């Protein structure tokens, strides 16, 4: 295994010295061992396959219990069979190829991307990246407020250190937030930046101009240090304003700077409205079939095997069938249009609120809107959250000290004005105390 570890590191170093320097101690050690899944994969298709510990009919097909198989009747037989057996550790090959085609729609051939590796939802993809590139004292730059689970995936689990700067300054998106967050790190120290657009909790996507400025800012950081940019594309495509580009920024970062390595985390959770399916993907900016792709895949497969064994086969089978269905795009578009109506209903309801008490931060995409309670009103978001629960039959998320997140994706269009009214009544009641 030591030999394998050394070979993987040499392959990564050859393709990207910056990425080799970004590896955590765990990332360095990880290598897919040549044990059962490895040997079973090599034996696939043999007539007498006595490798893997799964119950089959002796010829490779599952022995499903009728009560279980009934639930999968909508799948054609071969896919149903695969739903009932172990998935390959990196995921179903056809699903990986199909998702890659979907990711690359409208992307030019000069932007390489690996065959995405399947994870158990995006959270798992982020955790794998945290394992490979986080670790003790590694700075992780992310604009505030951010999706709080980054603290668990990067900081709690790996000992990395989240550093931050405000995501909004004077009511506008702060394009230099990540550079500012890393400003005190000594030059040369490798760092990670998390770029989550459309954002959670902000519901924000960059304008064309801001996109250029964010990229320039990240490139300037990469002049000083190896920089892994984790593109958390959970809400990709959910953009509601024509003037706002919806293509993931990941593609604009590919090949921009030798010290800047973007990694794309995306998946079916929100993009295909398959929340319970837990199918995510990790994609690197390298050619499929390259040595560096194989080296990174070996490390990821090792960590997948160590953590969850293999990804869920049943939900991969359902997703693969959906991706092969020609109606899928129009179904996804119908959801985007519905969320667009909710977005406009919320935007309009917020247009008339008392800015002395609450300021909506700019939002144009995704699933959320973020509101900031005025400091002079003396109301914390947690006090408001509890008050709305106790007295107004209304739930929102409090982000300390004075941010409130409204999930427009989970409230009916017609209910959003009422939600805003209740929220404002609650703020007024608390401010008057």
Ligand X SMILES: Cc1ncc(COP(=O)(O)O)c(C=O)c1O
Which residue among 121, 145, 203, 285 contacts ligand X (CB under 6 A)?
121
Asked whether the CA dihedral 107, 112, 117, 121 is positive or negative, the reply is negative
First vs last C-alpha separation in the chain:
66
Residue 143 is a binding residue for ligand X (CB under 6 A): no
Q: Which stretch binds ligand X (CB under 6 A): 32-40, 88-96, 118-126, 398-406?
A: 118-126
Q: Which is nearer to ligand X, 20 or 367 (by Cβ)?
A: 367
Residues 12, 19, 122, 253: which binds ligand X (CB under 6 A)? Answer: 122
In the block, which residue shows the tokens 């702060």?
Answer: 174
Identity of the residue, 305 or 405, whose beta carbon is nearer to ligand X in the bound complex: 405
Q: Does 205 sit near ligand X (CB under 6 A)?
A: no
Q: CA 117, CA 32: separation in Å to the nearest integer?
A: 14
Task: Using the minimum distance from each CB to ligand X, give the nearer residue, 197 or 345.
Answer: 197
> Which two tokens mark 311?
């990804």
Could you say whether residue 196 binds ligand X (CB under 6 A)?
A: yes
Give the nearer residue to ligand X in terms of CB position, either 8 or 346: 346
Q: Dihedral angle at the C-alpha atoms of 159, 165, 171, 175, nearest 10 degrees?
A: -100
From residue 213 to residue 252, the character string flagging contacts with ligand X as x (rule: CB under 6 A) and all else as - is -------------------x-x------------------
Write the interaction track for ligand X spanning residues 274-293; mark x where CB under 6 A is met and - where it is not: ------x-------------
Place of tokens 């993009």: 271
Contact flag: residue 123 with ligand X (CB under 6 A):
yes
Q: Does 365 bind ligand X (CB under 6 A)?
A: no
Count the Cβ atoms, other than its own, within 10 Å of residue 166.
14
Distances (CA, A) of 280 to 90, 96, 274, 328, 374: 11, 10, 10, 18, 38
Least separation in angstroms between residue 193's CB and ligand X is: 14
200: contact with ligand X by CB under 6 A: yes
How big is the CA angle at 177 (ends 175 and 181), to the nearest 5 degrees? 155
All residues at 6 or more sequence positions from 15 whose CB lies less than 8 Å from its CB, including other chains:
286, 290, 291, 292
- State the number of binding residues for ligand X (CB under 6 A): 11
SS (HEC) of 21-89: HHCCHHHHHCCCCCCHHHHHHHHCCCCCCCCCCCCECCCCCECCCHHHHHHHCCCCHHHHHHHHCCCCC
Identity of the residue, 115 or 269, whose beta carbon is nearer to ligand X in the bound complex:
269
269 contributes a contact to ligand X by CB under 6 A: yes
Q: Is 140 in the site for ligand X (CB under 6 A)?
A: no
- What count of Cα atoms within 13 Å lies in the side-chain half-sphere of residue 145? 22
By the rule CB under 6 A, 145 interacts with ligand X? no
Judged by the rule CB under 6 A, the positions of this chain that interact with ligand X are 121-123, 147, 196, 200, 232, 234, 267, 269, 280
């Amino acid at each position: 295994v030591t030999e394998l570890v050394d070979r993987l590191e040499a392959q990564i170093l050859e393709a990207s010295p910056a990425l080799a320097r970004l590896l955590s101690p765990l990332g360095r050690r990880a290598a897919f061992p040549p044990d059962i899944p490895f040997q079973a994969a090599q034996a696939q298709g043999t007539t007498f396959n006595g490798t893997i510990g799964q119950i089959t009919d002796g010829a490779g097909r599952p022995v499903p219990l009728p009560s279980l198989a009934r639930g999968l009747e909508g799948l054609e037989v071969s896919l149903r069979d695969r739903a009932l057996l172990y998935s390959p550790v990196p995921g179903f090959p056809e699903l990986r190829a199909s998702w890659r085609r979907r990711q690359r729609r409208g992307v030019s051939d000069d932007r390489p991307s690996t065959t995405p590796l399947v994870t158990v939802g995006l959270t798992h993809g982020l955790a794998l990246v945290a394992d490979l590139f986080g670790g003790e004292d590694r700075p992780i730059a992310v604009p505030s407020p951010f999706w709080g689970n980054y603290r668990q995936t990067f900081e709690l689990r790996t000992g990395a250190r989240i550093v931050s700067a405000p995501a909004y300054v004077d009511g506008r998106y702060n394009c230099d937030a990540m550079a500012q967050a890393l400003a005190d790190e000594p030059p040369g120290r490798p760092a990670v930046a998390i770029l989550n657009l459309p954002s959670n909790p902000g519901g924000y996507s960059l304008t064309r101009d801001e996109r250029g400025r964010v990229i320039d800012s990240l490139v300037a950081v990469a002049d000083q240090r190896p920089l892994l940019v984790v593109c958390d594309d959970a809400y990709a495509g959910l953009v509601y304003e024509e003037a706002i580009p919806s293509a993931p920024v990941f593609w604009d970062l590919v090949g921009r700077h030798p010290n800047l390595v973007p990694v794309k985390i995306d998946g079916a959770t929100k993009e295909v409205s398959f929340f319970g399916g837990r199918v995510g993907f990790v994609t690197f900016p390298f050619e499929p079939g390259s040595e560096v792709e194989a080296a990174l895949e070996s490390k990821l497969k090792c960590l997948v095997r160590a953590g969850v064994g293999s990804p869920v086969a049943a939900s991969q089978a359902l997703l693969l069938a959906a991706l092969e269905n020609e109606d899928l795009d129009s179904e996804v578009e119908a959801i985007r249009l519905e969320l667009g109506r909710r977005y406009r209903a919320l935007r309009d309801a917020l247009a008339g609120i008392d800015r002395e008490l609450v300021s909506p931060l700019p939002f144009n995409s995704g699933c959320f809107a973020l509101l900031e309670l005025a400091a002079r009103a003396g109301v914390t978001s947690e006090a408001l959250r509890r008050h709305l629960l106790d007295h107004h039959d209304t739930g929102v998320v409090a982000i300390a000290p004075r941010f409130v997140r409204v999930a427009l994706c989970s409230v009916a269009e017609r209910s959003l004005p009422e939600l805003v009214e209740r929220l404002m009544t609650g703020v007024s009641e608390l401010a008057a105390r």
